Structures are given as structure tokens and as C-alpha cells.
A and B are shown apart, each in its own frame.
Chain A
């Protein structure tokens, strides 16, 4: 089992460009979570899917950010018109559910730098 796979590991974009980040969850896991990590804000929840359905996007910036999970094997996070403040490590986690609890396993992250 390769764990959660995130691609690319590093991405540099110019201000105003689009960035698409990919996540492949652990096979058999039912949920995918996206988080953002910065020095200033720490680890912040963005959004998550369960059985491919969007469940909670309360952490997503209302503009420019969107996430999808078109099939059980991958999820994408898209940032339109990137801004320097979007620079962060974007972490994807997948989980299996035990009762009412999710045990989340994180990928290595995608380090996004917006110049």
C-alpha cells in the first residue's frame, strides 16, 4: 500500500495563473480531506468528500477555490487566479470510518509557491 499520493510535490505558478493539485487516496478508504498548512495559520481544514460526495466545504475560500472527486481513486483541488497568499503546503488525507470516527492518513503534500 503506497499511502496517499499527491502530485505534484512542488508547484510554482505566476500570480493569476491556475493551479490544479491531485490526490489519490488509499484504496478502500471512503473519505478524502483537504487541508492547507502555512507558518502563520497552521493546519487548516478546507473541505472533504465521503463516498465521492461533497460533505463539508466550510474551510474553502469562497472565491477561486474548488474541489472535486470524480471517482473513488482521485480528488482534485483547483485554485483559479492564484495569489501570493495562496502559497502553502496543501495536504490531502484519506480515511476509513470506524463507527462515527474517521482515522485520517495524510499524504506528503503539495508545496505551492505563487510568485
Chain B
């Protein structure tokens, strides 16, 4: 069964540094998402992406965050200047359709630790 893959599995970064989290969505999916899960808390929506542009974002997704689909297969999340509170598990997801009849398929996540 096709899977969403994320790299790296664990990223350790100094506060203030830029970090890029990478995702390869399922190949025939058109909608892409990033979620995060701070330790012990619920999964929170960050952003959705369709047709090479952001279609929806949450208030968490401020100017420090950006997303890109640089080459037609990868889908990246960039945090420009990391803060301690960015430490979390970041999940990428993709779906064929937009909440019609298609669930989102999630990757294994990248654990981001900010020192």
C-alpha cells in the first residue's frame, strides 16, 4: 500500500536556526497537509496545500512558517527561525480529494527538538 514518507525522523536544531521538514505524499494525491502534535497534546492543523498554493492555514501557521512543493514529488515545511515552542512531532498528510470521500493518509512524522 502506498505510504506518505517523511524525512528526517528526528531533527535537532538550535533555537533561531532554520529547519526544513520533508515529505513525499502518495503519488496520485492532490491535497497536502501539515499537522503538529506537541508532546502530550492533540494533533493540530497547520496548513493545507493544493494546486501549488496554500488553500487554508491555521493561526499557528504564522510568518515563520512556509510550505513548498519544489519538484512535483516533495512537499516541504520550513520554519525560518525556530523557537523552543516549535518542538513537536510534525505530520505530513495527503489525500486524493477535498473532504469528499477521501481520508487523509499520514506519514510517520518528524520529531523536531529545538535546543
A interacts with B: no
Q: Residues of A at under 8 Å CB distance from B? A: none
